[in-house]
Amino acid sequence: MSKDRKNVREAALELLEAVEKNESYSNLLLDRYIEKYRFHGPDRALLTEITYGTLQRKQTLDYFLAPFLRKKIENWVRILLRLSLYQMVYLDKIPDRAIIFEAVEIAKKRGHRGISGMVNGVLRAIQRGGLRSLKEIEDPLERLSVATSHPHWLVARWAEAYGYKTTKEMCEANLIPPLQTARVNLNRASVEEVIEKLEREGFTVERSPVIPEAVRSRKGNLARSACFKEGLFTIQDESSMAVAYALCIQEGQRILDACAAPGGKTTHIAEKLEGTGEVVALDLHPHKVKLVQENAERLGTGQVEAIAMDSRDAGARFEKNTFDRILVDAPCTGFGVLRRKPDIKYAKTVDDIHALKQVQLSILSGVSELLKPDGILVFSTCTVDRKENEGTIETFLQEHPEFEPYPLHVPEAMESCVDGYRMQIFPQDFGGDGFFIASIRKKAGKA
């Protein structure tokens, strides 16, 4: 093994430590570690499973470990115990003795004999005695919080807003690995053609039951296919795909995407314009704007102009009343994407919700005067929170009487979730991300 190669579990430990130190999001760190240590095939899959699984189940694992940890331990030791216990409890292909052996070897390498002995002792005690029951927790919200590893404040907040049943379903759905879905670029190929081509490449895919132009992968990472490189589709979650429907796009329109990167929705909008019109895509960060450009180029959607700027200042750059449609796919807490980014559930706080609501409102206000009278503005987030979602759009409507609710248009399969001009999708609804979409219109004659 070359010196920059690493054992999967050692890499998992290093990665999980980096997540705890807030070095970056787990999904980005995972890509970085896979590349750094050149993991392929089963090793890559195991690293993904161990890091995501351990993060997803952190609180539950800590509950199981607590009776065995009488004195304070170093953080890396706690993480090593968590990731080892995760494998013992949730993965059935690896024998416990192999897991314990590896954990002890890592502890010997990084610590002293006392630590490796303690790691061995704790894991063997659990192997012999089994796990403590979650039924010991009497309070239902506390039990749900520990059993599904979501912070208590978040579970309590959701239960108050959506009820216990929906909250429980959501917490459980968040533990299921996400489906990979792709949006076919209908300007280049039909869904049937893409399915056929992907199957010839060895992927197992099926038509989405939710979005007409989407496919779901049952086997294989579609981003590594030749079809992807040819620009026949883009990887996107199905809930995100509903947003372009809400814009009710018509040929030749000029559309502003105020928070565009990496361009999932920008390119969907451009595809729906079928080579006509124009999409102006803004994002705060120049490196992210490059991603919008790259995606538009790969998909061959020529009408996209991507600009790095703060959309709160868009009023100074563009003329008033000149866009037919505006999308604000706003920065948010991301509680709808916990399956992909489990670290969010431990990192975000109520203060973040309040701060993000203010940012969302200022972006909405910044771009609203650019919309033509009668034009539609769509506000969306990938989060599940009433304050950030319904709260933001209600406040905006109160502060902007020139706008009114406009009936939300979505693909037929999602219509059951629509509540007038808005819709909250939960991760358990269709298997996609938790997502919020609201549609409002600038009143005719209100410039």
Ligand X SMILES: C[S@@+](CC[C@H](N)C(=O)[O-])C[C@H]1O[C@@H](n2cnc3c(N)ncnc32)[C@H](O)[C@@H]1O
139 marked ligand binding residue: no
Smallest gap from Cβ 195 to ligand X, in A, equals 24
Smallest gap from Cβ 232 to ligand X, in A, equals 18
Nearer to ligand X, 161 or 284 (CB): 284
Task: Tell me how crowded residue 39 is: count the other CB atoms within 10 A of its CB.
Answer: 20
DSSP codes, 314-378: HHHHS-TT-EEEEEEE-----TT-TTT-THHHHH--HHHHHHHHHHHHHHHHHHHTTEEEEEEEE
Nearer to ligand X, 263 or 432 (CB): 263
Q: Are 233 and 185 spatial neighbours (Cβ–Cβ below 8 Å)?
A: yes
Smallest gap from Cβ 312 to ligand X, in A, equals 5
Catalytic residue among 171, 227, 248, 382: 382
264 marked ligand binding residue: yes
432 marked ligand binding residue: no
Which helix (H) or strand (E) is 405 found in, with range?
strand 403-405
- Token pair in block for residue 397: 């409507």
In three-state secondary structure terms, 446 is: coil
244 marked ligand binding residue: no
Which residue in 275, 139, 216, 232 sits closest to 431, CA to CA?
Answer: 216
Active site residue 417: no
Query: How far lies 237's CA from each of 142, 214, 219, 336, in Å?
Result: 31, 9, 16, 11
Smallest gap from Cβ 339 to ligand X, in A, equals 16
- Token pair in block for residue 306: 């991507």
Nearer to ligand X, 224 or 285 (CB): 285
283 marked ligand binding residue: yes
Nearer to ligand X, 79 or 258 (CB): 258
Spatial separation of the C-alpha atoms in residues 45 and 39, rounded to whole Å = 9
List interacting residues with ligand X (CB under 6 A): 240, 259-265, 282-285, 288, 310-312, 329, 331, 363
Alpha-carbon dihedral 212, 218, 222, 227, rounded to 10 degrees? -60
Which segments are annotated as binding site for S-adenosyl-L-methionine?
A: 259-265, 283, 310, 329
The set of catalytic residues is 382
Annotated binding site: 259-265, 283, 310, 329
